[in-house]
Structure 1
């Protein structure tokens, strides 16, 4: 894509984000600052449409950005605006509680208030707890109970459904291996150690232990506090979201169950810096008209969770991205100073 096409796409996306109306060639020419003819604008728009970056909604003569157009805009054309001092002051005042859970709740509220969308936070995992004991118990042919005890006395019970039927002796051997070689390590260290030894262990047994530790490291699906959500009702005020009642209902079901959100936020936790998921490309959000901006946060340099904002694809990314980024940094500082 040449420089002229980039300028026109950037102008079109910014203008559409601003007023939500399809952009015609005349309007695009007025706002692009390019000294070209209307015919040239139409030709470039036709090329962009053929490439899949813009589309014509219904019979409108104007164009709107597609998911692919938003992705190129965010990755290559976006000019991020610095967060204003008033917003930073608001964040700092909201993140001054001595209670870690209050800090997380306040951070979700601040994200919602500053963006007018939904703020979401994956709460810290207890990844620093050390493994004390692990045991597999056979419940039925392909159903196994995993009992995991950590050094602080916590006991987690999870049920695994396996494709292969395991014998009681195989489960005992798996339990003995973990307890002998991994006791005293954090759960993250146990996962890493086992996965590094994949080639040295019987494949089926290793798969079983990896699945057990994956399950143990995930928050309980019934524990709604594993994901804190604030301001989801703000999405009802977004025209392109509220018009799609069926899909909006699916989104609120995700808010209610939180399972898919935990998976998406957990995926973001392993990334470096701000992540942007546009439309359905994440595989977890049900709306093509919905995007999510996330960033990991840490305690004393160790990443422990993720926070983010869910809103329409037609969001002001240049403003939302620094809000999410700064909130993650301030929350990290506040939690590290506890």
Structure 2
């Protein structure tokens, strides 16, 4: 969409003013805040052109105009000046929440941090483990009772009790763990199961049964994911008039949180993209309301994208501030989980 410099300046001024105070913006106000030496009549003509393009709309109760979802899209893609937030300053605020904690706690803290800094809702899609393990260990508890310890790539530790028909010695347990770690570390338990089955003749029969039991138990442990996502600050959205102005809007909003399917789909789409993504209600089929936007970014563990985080709020949000908050939090979460 081609807009001349004058139209771009006026659209940018209109969106910024509307985000700031939530009131339709009239031609006289635009004349003052745009910095352009234009008469109100000329501004009205430009606004009429922008309205014809579908970038702004006129509420029935006002002579002023408000941005449409299409107008917000042009604003965030072409006109937005992202606020510079010191990564070091933000990192110091996040340090206690994202360091020296178990992975699930770090993820929960990241959602809370996003909510706290944005004053909207923060969401983090938890990593998809796909039953991949980094390391396994066997600990002999007593005769025929073994504790299986599974370490996931994220550093999470899962324990499972194995009841066996044979009383394995510590040396045998060490041998079985070494075999699994040396041959299948970084792979899914399914790969280990297929590998063990294909090499049955080369393995001692009694050791095979132990490793098969470990593979089954370990796969179950890693596939038992808790919540697929962590959401913090949902009640903040009750204070946003654009989202809570009527019961229909509220019902749509909390249906999305309750069902999660559309939100998961949105986060999954973001997971496949690079960098910060902005989903604006009214143009995205994944959002239930025209007045809602979601700003997301993927995060990594050891260089591999494993999930997405973001901020859920109104389309009338301060994107120039929310975007760097989401971007930097994603980087810091990646670093925290990769340590």
Give me the TM-score of the superposition, normalised by structure 1: 0.72
Which position in structure 1 is the counterpart of 2:127? 124
Q: Which residue of 2 aligns with 1:269?
A: 271
Distance 2:119 2:67 in 1: 22
Partner Cα distance (1:110, 1:81) in 2: 18
Counterparts in 2 of 1:89-100, with a 5 A limit? 89-100=92-103
From 80, 83, 87, the counterpart of 2:85: 83
Check conservation: 1:265, 1:307, Cα contact below 8 A: yes
1:128, CA displacement in angstroms? 6.5
1:136-151 correspondence runs (5 A): none
Superposed, 1:177-192 pairs within 5 Å as none
Query: Helix, strand or coil for the counterpart of 1:281?
Result: coil
Instruction: Report the secondary structure of 2:83's partner residue.
Output: coil
Mapped partners of 2:332, 2:95: distance in 1: 7
Counterpart residue number, 1:309: 311
C-alpha contact (below 8 Å) 1:121/1:229 kept by paired residues? yes
Paired position in structure 2 for 1:240: 242
- Stretches of structure 2 that go unaligned for 5 or more consecutive residues are 134-150, 153-157, 160-183, 192-221
User: What does the per-residue CA deviation read over 1:125-153, in whole Å, with 9 as the maximum and x for residues that have no partner?
Assistant: 014628xxxxxxxxxxxxxxxxxxxx999
Partner SS state of residue 80, structure 1: coil
Q: TM-score, normalised by structure 2?
A: 0.71
Distance of 1:238 and 1:223 partners within structure 2: 32
Q: Write the deviation string for residues 247-306 of structure 1: whole angstroms up to 9, x where unpaired.
A: 221221221222222111111100000000001333222110000000000011100100
Q: Provide the C-alpha distance between the structure 2 equivalents of 1:89 and 1:18, rounded to a whole number of angstroms.
A: 28
Q: Secondary structure, in 3 states, of the residue corresponding to 2:266?
A: helix
In 2, the alpha carbon distance for the partners of 1:263 and 1:239 equals 26
Shift of 1:95: 1.0
Q: How does 1:248-327 map to 2 (within 5 A)?
A: 248-327=250-329
Find the aligned partners of 2:306 and 2:225 in 1 and give their Cα distance: 17
What residue in structure 2 maps to residue 115 of structure 1? Answer: 118
The 1:184/1:103 distance shift into structure 2, 3 A limit, reads: closer
| Deviates most, 256-265 or 270-279 | 256-265
Report the counterpart of residue 331 of structure 1 in structure 2.
333
| Secondary structure at the counterpart of residue 95 of structure 1 | coil
Instruction: Give the RMSD, CA atoms, in angstroms.
Output: 2.7
C-alpha distance in 2, partners of 1:63/1:224?
46
Q: Is contact 1:87-1:114 (8 Å) kept?
A: no
**Cross-structure match for 1:11:** 13
Q: In terms of mean alpha carbon deviation, does 16-25 or 248-257 score higher?
A: 248-257
CA distance in 2, matches of 1:3, 1:47: 14
Matches of 1:244 and 1:24 in 2, distance apart? Answer: 26
Counting matched residue pairs gives 260
Gap regions ≥5 residues in structure 1: 131-150, 155-182, 191-218
Conserved? CA contact 2:70–2:283, under 8 Å = no
**Deviation (angstroms), 1:93:** 2.5
The structural deviation recorded for 1:97 is 3.2
